[in-house]
Structures are given as structure tokens and as C-alpha cells.
Structure 1
Amino acid sequence: MPTPRPAILSSIRSLISAFTSKASTPAILAHFTSSPTPLVHEHGSPLFQPFLPFIGRDFIGLKAVGEYFDLLAQHLAISDATFDDEDDWVVDPQILTVCLRGRARFTSLETKESWLETFLWRVTLSEDLTGESEPDAGQGLKVQEYRVWADTGAAFLASRGELKDLESANPSNVRRSVAGAHEVDEVLGGEDYPIKDKLGAGLSFGGSSG
């Protein structure tokens, strides 16, 4: 029997709340399973690791997941985070996985350079097994797998203090993208390539998002 959709969404909302409220690492870890073993992976080239050690590697286990969020907090400040409406999330209740998109301003703590960014989360949930009697379906859901796709290029340049050089070389593009950042991501496609359907529009409640 699939886990009730409201239970899945509630767990994701709790994770978002921790993210947007700049919760401490211990507070964030409370949203992850201890058993089964959790995993965090922010996708990107391992070549970035000397500057961005949280990118391009697996963080496996609760202690390692805490290390990921500690490293993230040591290198980047995150502000003005927002997420798409729940109607736009892709939810697969069979594998307890949700894909959703967020936006935020990121700032390199070393160079103070900042940028606006759109990122994608793929979050897989699981019942947190603690050896106690199993709760009702969905009542013990926590994050088992957390994957992020973000603008690693901007993060890398900002960590080296070189993002401003790129912006200086393309000032008109930067002004245009910053001024319309909230609009650009809302409209996928255009006159030359009109959008056909919203992501996930063809999925049924019991379908799979992959």
C-alpha cells in the first residue's frame, strides 16, 4: 500500500523549513534517517573539491551527512530561499521520492561574491527504523537520500573571487538575468521553443518519476 501523499509532502515541508530557517546542523540531521543509512550527494565535478569540498562526493551515514552541512555552512551563506508550489513537485509514492525546484541567493563566505541560483532537489524518504514498533504508514518518514543539482560553476568562480570578472565582461546579460530572475525560471520555453507540458503533468499518483 503506497504511503499517503500528505505524509510524503509533510516530510518535505519539514526539510524545506529547516533549510529556509538556516537551522543548525543537528536540527537538520533530525530530518534524516539513522537506519537505513542516509546519503547526501551534491552533483558536480570532483575537480571543484579543493575549493568546494562538499561537491561531487557521497556523504554516507548520519555523521558524514552532518559533515556535508557543516562544510556547506563554512563556505556559503544562503538567503531568500523559495521553492515551487507543491502542485509543481514530482511525487512518486511508490519509491517515496520527490523532485522539486528551489531558488536562493548564495554568497561565498571567503570572497563575499554572491549570485542568484536555481537548484533541484531529489529527495527519497524512508521509515526511520529505530528498533521500536513500526509506526503507521508515513508517520516515521525521514530523508534517506538527498541529491542536489545546483550552479557549481558560479559557486566555483565565486570561491576564487572570479565571478565578478565574468559579470564585468557581460554587464548587460547580468542586469537582464538578475532583474528577471524570478520570471525566467517561471517560464520554460519561449516563442522559438514553446513548452508543451509541465514536468510531471503526465504522471498519475502511482506513477514513477524515475
Structure 2
Amino acid sequence: MPTPRPALLSSIHSLISAFSSGASTPVILAHFTTSPAPLVHEHGSPFLQPSLPFIGRDFTGMTGVGEYFDVLAQYLSYSDMVFEDEDDWVVDPQNLTICLRGRAQFTYKRTGDSWLETFMWRITLSEDLGQSEPDVGQGLKVQEYRVWSDTGAALLASRGELQGEKSRKYVSDAARADGVLGSDYPVKDKLGSGLSFGGSSG
């Protein structure tokens, strides 16, 4: 029997609250399963890793997921994070998978370059079995967290090249080509019935 939609959405809203408040890595980790082991993957080319080391590779287990968020915080800061209304989310109750979009202002810390970005999450939930008897049955938590973001803007920001009209136009055009940014690219149009994503892949 599929998990009721309110139960799925409750877990997502809890995760959103943590991100929107700028929570620390330990607080964010509390929203992930310990068993089964969690996985985080931010999609993008591995060739970007010298400037964006959190892109294009799997981070697995609680240690790996913690590393992802620590590295992300080392390179980027963000503010004004908001998410689309839950009516616009794509929810698959059979596979406990939810797709949604958010928007935030990101800054590459070393250069100080900032950009407004729309990103997409695909989250798969699982019952957290815990690591020991007192922790068993912790409820639905995030087991797989996948992100599609504007890696083109992030790369330019890492080089200090986001200033000026030409750069802004390049980022806009690249984002539309990827089908990641823009209100005229609804998330439901980018997802097939199998919840696959047609953008960049790592």
C-alpha cells in the first residue's frame, strides 16, 4: 500500500525548513537515514571538480553525506532560499520519491561572485531502521538526495567571471539549454512518468 501523501510531504517540509534556516551539517544529517545508507549526488561533469569538488560524484553513508555538506559550505554560501508550492511537486508514493524546485542566492566564497539560481531536488525516502535497538523505527527520512543546479554559473563564479551583461546572458542561455532554470521550464515537463531527469548528468 502506498505511503500517504501527507507522510511523504511532512519529511520534505522538515528538510526544507533545515535548509531555509541555514542549518548546520549535523542538523541536516538528522534528516537522513542511517540504515539504509544514504546517498547524495549533485549532478554535473566530473571535470568541474577542481573548482566545484562537490559536483559529479556519489557521497555515501553518513560520513560521506556529511562530507558533501561540509565541502559545499566551504565553497558556497546561500541566502533567501525558497521552494515552489507543494502542489507543483512531482510525488511518486509507490517509490517514495519527490521532485521539487527551489531558488536561492548563491555566492562563491573565494571570489565573492553571486548569482540567483533555480535548482531541482529529487529525493527518495526510506524508513530509517537506525543503528541500534533504541533507534529502530525512526520514521521516513531521506535515503537518496539528488540535485540538479546551475553548474555553469557556479563555474563562472569560481573564476570571478560573473560580472557584466555578457556573463549574465551566457549563464541565462546555458541554463535554458540545460532545462534547469526559468519559470517557463516547469519541473513536470522535465520529468517523464518514470521520474527521470533530462538535464546534465554526472
Specify the TM-score bucket, using the shorter chain as the normaliser.
0.7 to 0.9
Q: How far 1:20 moved relative to its partner?
A: 0.7
Alpha-carbon distance between aligned partners in 1 of 2:19 and 2:42, rounded to the nearest angstrom:
15
Mapped partners of 2:95, 2:120: distance in 1: 18
- Alignment correspondent of 2:36: 36
1:6 aligns with 2:43: no
Q: Secondary structure at the match of 1:209?
A: coil
How much is the aligned-residue C-alpha RMSD, in angstroms? 2.5
Give the conservation status (yes or no) of the 8 Å contact 2:76–2:109: yes
For 2:167 and 2:66, how far apart are their aligned partners in 1? 38
- 2:8, 2:55 → 1: CA distance? 27
The one-letter amino acid paired with 1:91 is V
2:37, 2:93 → 1: CA distance? 20
Partner of residue 199, structure 1: 188
8 Å CA contact 1:91–1:209 kept in 2: the answer is no
Question: Compared with structure 1, are the counterparts of its residues 170 and 208 closer, same or farther at alpha carbon in structure 2 (3 Å cutoff)?
Answer: closer
More displaced stretch, 125-134 vs 16-25: 125-134
Task: Measure how far apart 1:186 and its partner are.
Answer: 3.6
**Cα offset, 1:208, TM superposition:** 5.4
Task: Give the distance between the partners of 2:166 and 2:42, measured in 1 at CA.
Answer: 29
Report Cα offsets for 1:63-109 as digits up to 9, x if no partner: 01000000111111111111110000000010100000111110011
Q: Which amino acid in the other structure matches residue 199 of structure 1?
A: K
The Cα of 1:199 is off from its aligned counterpart by: 1.9
Aligned partner of 1:114 in structure 2 is 114
AA of the residue aligned to 2:157: A
Equivalent residue for 1:209, pick from 186, 195, 199: 195
Q: Which runs of 5+ in 2 are unaligned?
A: 174-180, 197-202
**CA distance, structure 2, for counterparts of residue 84 and residue 20 of structure 1:** 13
Amino acid at match of 1:161: G
Equivalent residue, structure 2, for 1:17? 17
TM-score, normalised on structure 1? 0.80
Q: Distance in 1 between matches of 2:185 and 2:151?
A: 21
Q: How many residue pairs were aligned?
A: 184
Change (3 A) 1:156 1:170: closer
Q: Would you say the 8 A contact 1:92–1:208 is kept in 2?
A: no
- For the residue of structure 2 that corresponds to 1:70, the secondary structure is helix
Counterpart residue identity of residue 96, structure 1? L
The runs of 5 or more residues in structure 1 that have no matched partner are 178-183, 190-197
Higher Rg: 1
Judging changes above 3 Å, is the alpha-carbon distance between structure 1 residues 188 and 45 closer, same or farther for their aligned structure 2 residues? closer
1:169-192 CA distances to partner (integer Å, 9 max, x unpaired)? 367x59x99xxxxxx844449xxx
Query: 1:116-140: CA deviations, max 9, x gaps?
Result: 11100000000000254965xxx70
8 A contact 2:40–2:144 mirrored in 1:
yes
Aligned to 1:161: 160
Give per-residue Cα distances to partners, 1:38-61, cap 9 Å, x unaligned. Answer: 000000011111111100000010
Call closer, same or farther: CA 1:170–1:127 in 2, change over 3 Å: closer
Runs of 4+ in 1 over 6 A off after TM superposition: none
Q: Which residue of 2 aligns with 1:124?
A: 124
CA distance in 1, matches of 2:166, 2:184: 26
TM-score norm. by structure 2 comes to 0.83
